[in-house]
Amino acid sequence: MAKTALITGVTGQDGAYLSEYLLKKGYNVHGIKRRSSLFNTERIDHIYQDPHTENRNFTLHYGDLTDSTNLIRIIQETQPDEIYNLAAMSHVGVSFDTPEYTANADGIGTLRFLEAIRLLGMTEKTRFYQASTSELYGLVQEVPQSETTPFYPRSPYAVAKLYGYWITVNYREAYNMYACNGILFNHESPIRGETFVTRKITRAVARIVLGLQDKIFLGNLSAQRDWGHAKDYVKAMYLVLQQDEPDDYVVATGVTTEVREFVRMAFAHLGCEIEFRGEGVDEKGYIVASESDEFSHLLNKCVLEVDPRYFRPTEVDLLIGDPAKAKKKLGWEPKYDLKALVEDMVSSDLKLMRKDRYLREGGYETLNYFE
């Protein structure tokens, strides 16, 4: 019998990769998406199945983490063997602007799911995966960070996720539920949201070299992150729910890199060398060499500036994970290193931006409504 999975956050980066991965494994996949005024299914359009398709194995339901009634109804209707709770207000910077909503969706949203499973009498049938995060570690207590490192969250997002983490552990212990946390470190891809730093960089690098944009403005260039590829990380999510006993796992590469270095690698992939001059808010990036004639117009141009508006009231300076437990117990092994990740993202954005430039040159730009 095919297993049934219910995925929240199905329209997001991880939801899209995980859906495709589970469909390939023969699962019936149900996804919860929010109603929005524009289509928001771009990342899953390639696997979408029309409601009139016979024997369809990918179904979308409208729902929201802040509405328990619909969560209960969807779980009852779909009877999932596995729930992957990936939905969240996932932007750390934005959580300082929307702290109450973030607590409701990311913190209490997790409780709503666990309680729905319990109320429906499905604790024996349904396994639950919670998308926990390396942001829980926050202010550095020890490195590398592992399952036993104390938490010290540094944003409304991380504090909300701390509740999600502990309520998952509590329901496991109190009601003997198969409920697990994947403590995932940053993972990126060509379909990463455009306002996270890696995608903001790869998109801007592509636009700068193609002459569609002059420069990029970034915040803290010295932050260090342990970046992996989302394709590798959704496989770990699946493995977490396939074990004999429920448990919590750190998923990371074990390598950390500064934001500044990510920028250097992104330009380097297109044969451009960037040099950083100055310090703090006065730091700037200049292109000092180019292998390709196509990009020689950038030589000696300032293409990067620091804008303090992107600084966070409290920052997480250094994340580096220890994935030893996931490797040993889950047999998980990432395929992508940072260089391969950067290449994948920059190549994809270069293709997208060439399409943009083609449209611009063809005169197909958006017009003002009243012109």
Catalytic residues: 133, 135, 157
Considering CB distances under 5 to 8 angstroms, the limit depending on partner class, which of ligand NDP, ligand GDR, none binds residue 93? Answer: ligand GDR
The structure tokens 């801007």 sit at 204
Least CB distance from residue 134 to ligand NDP, whole Å?
Answer: 6
248 binds ligand GDR (CB under 6 A): no
| One of 187, 199, 231, 264 touching ligand NDP (CB under 6 A) | 187
Distance of CA 71 to the CA centre of its chain: 22
195 binds ligand NDP (CB under 6 A): no
Write each residue from 5 to 44 as x if it is in contact with ligand NDP (CB under 6 A), else as -, in one continuous string: ---xx-xxxxx------------------x-x---x----
Is the sign of the CA dihedral 366, 199, 98, 18 positive or negative?
positive
93 binds ligand NDP (CB under 6 A): no
| One of 53, 69, 141, 195 touching ligand GDR (CB under 6 A) | 195
64 binds ligand NDP (CB under 6 A): yes
Considering CB distances under 5 to 8 angstroms, the limit depending on partner class, which of ligand NDP, ligand GDR, none binds residue 64? Answer: ligand NDP
Considering CB distances under 5 to 8 angstroms, the limit depending on partner class, which of ligand NDP, ligand GDR, none binds residue 180? Answer: none
Least CB distance from residue 59 to ligand GDR, whole Å?
Answer: 26
The residue of the chain with the least Cβ separation from ligand NDP equals: 12
- For the chain, what is the largest distance between any 2 Cα atoms, rounded to a whole number of angstroms? 66
Burial of 53 from C-beta contacts in 10 A (0-12 / 13-18 / 19+): exposed
| Interface with ligand NDP (CB under 6 A) | 8-9, 11-15, 34, 36, 40, 64-66, 86-90, 105, 131, 133, 184, 186-187, 193
